């Protein structure tokens, strides 16, 4: 059963939600709300990512769940019980911090053994658990080192081992890979995901890196301006963004302002700035207001083929910028009276375009989405 299915089963069933945010609001100064009306369920065994730019409220939400901040209003339920007043040390939640927060005055093994003492595990039993935890992150030989003697990636693993050693039911991570270089980051993404799956841990992960979120998550909550803009699995999020912010934050998108003329069947007719019309797959745009746009991803725009086919929008423009990038070509075209539209042309179709040359492009109607701001 995948998470989309489980989600549909669980929507009305709070038992399956390990964490539930109920109308949570947070303000530090009593005037501005960093988190506004948060309602979110985290399911058992799920990898949920809170994705958003800095200042969007995602880290504050994580801190409230960890117990380091208190919600101004609303409730946080852990396993069905409200925990707003429960201090962090009583929540039994694992927390991996941005800069690992390893204790510099202790060895790696002492770091990993730290949580065991407060769970009554000492002596040989503790040693065995530490050994297992370090083995799980392939650091068996480094137990006697100090954190300062380790590389960034190794420190990250120690932080993971220290969190996993007490087998928390819920692990929170605050941009844990931010300080690593790209290659290491990608390897750690896979490792963390594998650990999470094999141990069946529920994980709430905060990042501003959309590719990280897409790689690891079962579901992604996109945060902006203190609200969840969309909560969905990675594919839905990418293919069916629910508003303009999500469309531009996840991957790349051409956002073209338009007005809604009407609907034909399930397809909306949009009039662009220069009067030409595009057809777009429905989406949930209600009114005919001015703040509407057609959104289409560069990889879904191609050079127009011969003959007109059904199910395609066709439009023309003048070539502006052309970049050849090896496997593909980026072609920016000025269309709809001044709007720049970028297309990603596969390398085998690439050819020379002169500046200002007339280009005819097409894109599938089902890939054009009508969005509100």
Partner 1 sequence: MWLPSYATPSERIMRTLVVAFAVSVLLFLIAPLFIIVPLSFSKDPFFTLPVREYSLRWYADFFGNARWMNAIANSAVAAVMTTILATTLGTLAALGISRPDFPARRLIMALLISPMIVPIVIVAVGSYLFFGQFGLTNTRTGLVLAHTALATPFVVITVTATLSTYETNLTRAALSLGAPPSAAFFRVTLPNILPGVISGAIFAFATSFDEVVVALFMTAAEQRTLPVQMFSGIRDQINPTIMAAATLLLALSIILFAMLALLTRRRVK
In three-state secondary structure terms, 299 is helix
What residue has token string 């994980």? 203
- Closest CA relative to residue 213, chosen from 224, 204, 200, 202: 204
CA gap 222, 213 in Å, rounded? 10
Region binding partner 1 by CB under 8 A among candidate stretches 83-91, 182-190, 197-205, 253-261: 83-91
Q: Nearest distance from residue 17's CB to partner 1, in Å?
A: 21
What residue has token string 């009305």? 12
CA distance to 8, 296, 303, 320, per residue, from 293 (Å): 30, 10, 22, 22
Strand partners, 170: 93, 202
Q: Nearest distance from residue 29's CB to partner 1, in Å?
A: 10
Q: Nearest distance from residue 154's CB to partner 1, in Å?
A: 17
Helix 152-164 and helix 108-117: axis angle, to 10°?
20
In three-state secondary structure terms, 336 is coil
Burial 133-153 (b: 16+ CB within 10 A, else e): bbebbebeebbeebbeebebb
Is residue 222 a contact partner of residue 250, using CB atoms and an 8 Å limit? yes
Residue nearer to partner 1 on the CB measure, 78 or 296: 78
Q: Nearest distance from residue 163's CB to partner 1, in Å?
A: 8
Q: Nearest distance from residue 39's CB to partner 1, in Å?
A: 25
* Kind plus residue range of the DSSP H or E element containing 70: none
Q: How many residues bind partner 1 (CB under 8 A)?
A: 26
Region binding partner 1 by CB under 8 A among candidate stretches 82-90, 176-184, 286-294, 325-333: 82-90
In three-state secondary structure terms, 308 is coil
Residues 298-337 that bind partner 1 (CB under 8 A): none
Residues 87-146 that bind partner 1 (CB under 8 A): 87-89, 91-95, 97-99, 101-105, 114-115, 118-119
In three-state secondary structure terms, 40 is strand
Q: Nearest distance from residue 246's CB to partner 1, in Å?
A: 30
Interface with partner 1 (CB under 8 A), residue from 20, 162, 208, 224 = 162
> Residue 344 is encoded by which pair of tokens?
């990603």
Interface with partner 1 (CB under 8 A), residue from 45, 52, 66, 176 = 66
281 belongs to the binding site for partner 1 (CB under 8 A)? no
- Closest CA relative to residue 47, chosen from 92, 101, 2: 2
> Residue 72 is encoded by which pair of tokens?
């101004």
Residue nearer to partner 1 on the CB measure, 104 or 307: 104
Q: Nearest distance from residue 99's CB to partner 1, in Å?
A: 7
Residue nearer to partner 1 on the CB measure, 71 or 317: 71
Interface with partner 1 (CB under 8 A), residue from 166, 186, 225, 276 = 166
Residue nearer to partner 1 on the CB measure, 87 or 123: 87
Q: Per-residue contact track with partner 1, 12 to 51, x per CB under 8 A?
A: ----------------------------------------
- Chain residues binding partner 1 by CB under 8 A are 66-68, 87-89, 91-95, 97-99, 101-105, 114-115, 118-119, 162-163, 166
């Amino acid at each position: 059963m995948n998470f989309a299915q489980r989600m549909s089963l669980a929507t009305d069933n709070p038992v399956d939600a390990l964490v539930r945010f109920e109308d949570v609001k947070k303000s530090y100064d009593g005037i501005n709300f960093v988190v506004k009306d948060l309602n979110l369920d985290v399911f058992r065994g799920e990898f949920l990512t809170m994705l958003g730019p800095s200042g969007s409220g995602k880290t504050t939400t994580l801190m409230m769940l960890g117990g380091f901040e208190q919600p101004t209003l609303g409730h946080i339920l852990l396993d069905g019980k409200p925990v707003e007043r429960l201090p962090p040390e009583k929540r039994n939640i694992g927390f991996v911090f941005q800069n690992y927060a390893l204790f510099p005055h202790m060895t790696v093994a002492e770091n990993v053994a730290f949580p065991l003492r407060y769970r009554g595990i000492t002596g040989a039993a503790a040693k065995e658990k530490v050994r297992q935890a370090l083995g799980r992150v392939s650091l068996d030989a480094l137990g006697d080192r100090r954190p300062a003697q380790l590389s960034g990636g190794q420190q990250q693993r120690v932080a993971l081992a220290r969190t996993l050693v007490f087998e928390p039911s819920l692990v929170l991570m605050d941009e844990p890979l931010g300080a690593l270089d790209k290659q290491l980051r990608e390897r750690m993404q896979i490792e963390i995901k594998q650990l999470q799956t094999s141990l069946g841990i529920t994980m709430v992960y905060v990042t501003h890196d959309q590719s990280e979120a897409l790689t690891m998550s079962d579901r992604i909550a996109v945060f902006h301006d203190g609200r969840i803009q969309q909560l969905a699995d990675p594919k839905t999020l990418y293919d069916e963004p629910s508003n303009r912010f999500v469309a531009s934050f996840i991957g790349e998108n051409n956002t073209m302002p338009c007005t809604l003329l009407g609907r034909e069947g399930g397809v909306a007719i949009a009039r662009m700035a220069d009067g030409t019309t595009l057809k777009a797959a429905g989406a949930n745009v209600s009114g005919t207001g001015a703040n509407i746009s057609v959104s289409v991803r560069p990889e879904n725009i191609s050079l127009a083929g011969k003959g007109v086919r059904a199910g395609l929008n066709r439009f023309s423009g003048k070539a502006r910028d052309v970049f050849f990038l090896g496997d593909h070509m980026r072609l920016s075209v000025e269309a709809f009276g001044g709007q720049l539209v970028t297309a990603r042309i596969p390398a085998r179709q690439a050819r020379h375009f002169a500046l200002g040359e007339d280009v005819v492009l097409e894109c599938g109607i089902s890939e054009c989405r009508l969005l509100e701001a």
